[in-house]
Amino acid sequence: MKVFWHCTVAVLVATMAATAVAAAAAQELPEPGQASFIVFVQNRQVGQERVTLVRSATGWEIRGSGRLGIPFDLITESFSMRYGADWQPIEMKTEAMLRGQPVSMETSFGLTTAISEITQNGQKSAKTDEMPARSVILASNFFGAYEALAARLPGLKEGDELPAYIPPQGTVPVRVRGISQQRMQRPEGDIALTRYQLTLQNPGAPLEVEVWVDPRHRLARFEVPSASLVVAREDVSTVMARVELVRNPGDEDVNVPANGFNLAATLTRPPDAKGPVGVVVLVGGVTSPTRDEVVGGVPVFGQLAGVLAGAGLAVIRYDNRGAGQSGGRSEAAAVEDYADDVRAVVRYLRDRKDVDRDRIAVLGYGDGSAIALEAAAREKRLTAVVLVAAMGTTGAARVLEEQQRALAGLTLTDSERAERIDLQKRILNAVETGKGWEGVPPEMRRQADTPWFRSFLLFDPKRAFEDARQPVLVVQPERDEEMPASNAAQLLALAKARRKGGAAELVQAPGLTHRLVPAGAEGDARRVPASLGMTIADWLTTVAWAAR
């Protein structure tokens, strides 16, 4: 019997099989107690879990329950995972409703074996697996189970491995790729967190995840960057909580007055600046709405601010409205509203004595290029535009292009592929026209029928360029895996076709991926290079601002 026990994210994890040897490490005991977690997919809350870690004379038990909406569609009525005092797994029990159908699983563990009994839709099946002793049990789609992983990580070092087992799929080694200390800013006080960057080894496609552990050795945050999945404990997921991933020399936390609310921002000045300097406003998309623009685990804007400041420019990055520490609401916000926020940042900068008010540039990255171009079209006091890994098509074409890229990585029949493309086209047409929602699943309509998505679909860079007359630099990462190079060529052509436009130039960033880091880089090497900052700064000072 085929068991439909996991969603797309869990399939990535659960189908991996390998062997591993536990690293020797001094174990520190976690603090028992309750915790509540909020589950986000693409920065949208899709569910919640309640977890209790219990310690007894014989060992440990993780208990919990939860509810996950689309794309999971899973209600976990009860979850229990028991370990011995040495973290040898003993027994796991789960009772759940998956897509409205009852599912249960019981797994008993020997020293190196796991026997699972699964009941789904009244049908029973069993499976027996070999596994390494003292494996960490990672349950599919009940993320509270990662409390055991959080308890086992302290004491490990980079390069160490732990064995893990995913019932009823198989074993997988978990390798520590990197360890760093982070500070979470909260109204009730800052909290120190240890961020473990891990690789779940899959011979075909290793999966990179992050586990954040607090000083009590309890799970604070679990993340799968490639799937835009974040599971955060309530006390570190509030609107006013912020993880400080990057702190550059010259960073200053500021508040920017916008339309009835403040934007929380960080202004980075060059280390040796004397007098007013030119400044770059960094603008990202709405899927990564906080000021560091974390993409695939890389804080792109946090690092980009550092290299631009090192090249002699001031840089400001901010949390989008309704995200991070910024006020306002995002539910009714469209491209034009986010562009007005950029204009608010420009007004703030022009009032600062340490900023050259005639040298203010906007840098749009990825899908944030739509917001940056719209802002440039509306705000004449912006004196230069930089577009990095940016889209050169309409928003609708960009969405279809991204879907084609995603489908290419799935094993589908021609009919299944055609069906998904047809559904996407029907959704896009319904969003644009307000008609034709018949046959579209309600949960998909809720996700798509929003002011932001509608305005993004209708956005056309050609129209924006009719009013955006500033000099334009297009930067195309040579190894960009998400934004085809054709987008950069289209942007350059549109910029040059303006009747009353400034200079337009296209440059390549050799060897860089969409995350603006070298292809194949891992650990500390996943950094935005100083050369990119110099390229942008040189163009601004010698071309865009040369006559100012």
Q: What is the pLDDT of residue 522?
A: 79
Q: What is the pLDDT of residue 466?
A: 92
For 251-408, where are the alpha helices, taking DSSP H only? 300-310, 335-350, 369-378, 395-408
CB neighbours of 208 closer than 8 A, spacing ≥ 6?
177, 197, 198, 199, 200, 224, 225, 226, 296, 297
Higher pLDDT among residues 427 and 24, named by residue: 427
Given pLDDT bands bounded at 50, 70 and 90, which one contains residue 184?
confident
For residue 46, is pLDDT > 80?
yes
Is the CATH code 3.40.50.1110 the one for domain 245-394+460-544?
A: no
Looking at residues 391-406, what average pLDDT do you find? 86
d(CA 362, CA 356) in angstroms, rounded, equals 14
Sheet (strand 251-257) strand order: 251-257, 262-268, 314-318, 277-283, 355-365, 384-388, 472-477, 504-509
CB neighbours of 240 closer than 8 A, spacing ≥ 6?
186, 187, 325
Q: Distance from first CA to last CA of the chain, Å, rounded?
A: 72
d(CA 275, CA 269) in angstroms, rounded, equals 11
Given pLDDT bands bounded at 50, 70 and 90, which one contains residue 531?
very high
Looking at residues 201-205, what average pLDDT do you find? 65
**164-173, 234-243, 341-350: least confident range:** 234-243
Q: What is the pLDDT of residues 125-147, one digit of tens each?
A: 999 999 999 999 998 889 999 99
For residue 9, is pLDDT > 70?
no
d(CA 113, CA 344) in angstroms, rounded, equals 61
8 A C-beta contact, residue 366 and residue 483: yes
For residue 112, is pLDDT > 70?
yes
Residue 153: left (phi > 0), alpha (psi -120 to 50), or beta?
alpha
Looking at residues 438-453, what average pLDDT do you find? 81
For residue 15, is pLDDT > 70?
no
Higher pLDDT among residues 368 and 431, named by residue: 368
Given pLDDT bands bounded at 50, 70 and 90, which one contains residue 244?
low
**12-21, 128-137, 473-482: least confident range:** 12-21
Higher pLDDT among residues 261 and 323, named by residue: 261
Sign of CA dihedral 355, 356, 358, 361: negative
**Tokens in use for 349?**
């900068």
Helix or strand or coil: residue 12? helix
Burial class (CB in 10 A: 0-12, 13-18, 19+), 220: buried
Sign of CA dihedral 178, 61, 41, 281: negative
d(CA 388, CA 477) in angstroms, rounded, equals 8
Question: What Å distances lie between residue 30 and 24, 59, 81, 150, CA to CA?
Answer: 18, 12, 16, 9
Q: What is the pLDDT of residue 11?
A: 35
pTM, 2 dp:
0.69
**8-17, 51-60, 359-368, 423-432: least confident range:** 8-17
8 A C-beta contact, residue 27 and residue 148: no
Q: What is the pLDDT of residue 406?
A: 75
Q: What is the pLDDT of residue 433?
A: 84
For residue 189, is pLDDT > 80?
no
CA dihedral 43, 293, 265, 330 (to 10 degrees): -30
Q: What is the pLDDT of residue 241?
A: 53
Q: What is the pLDDT of residue 79?
A: 96
Indicate where the chain has its CATH 3.40.50.1820 domain(s).
245-394+460-544
For residue 243, is pLDDT > 80?
no
Looking at residues 21-33, what average pLDDT do you find? 62
Q: What is the pLDDT of residues 273-295, one digit of tens each?
A: 888 999 999 999 888 788 999 88
Looking at residues 84-90, what average pLDDT do you find? 95
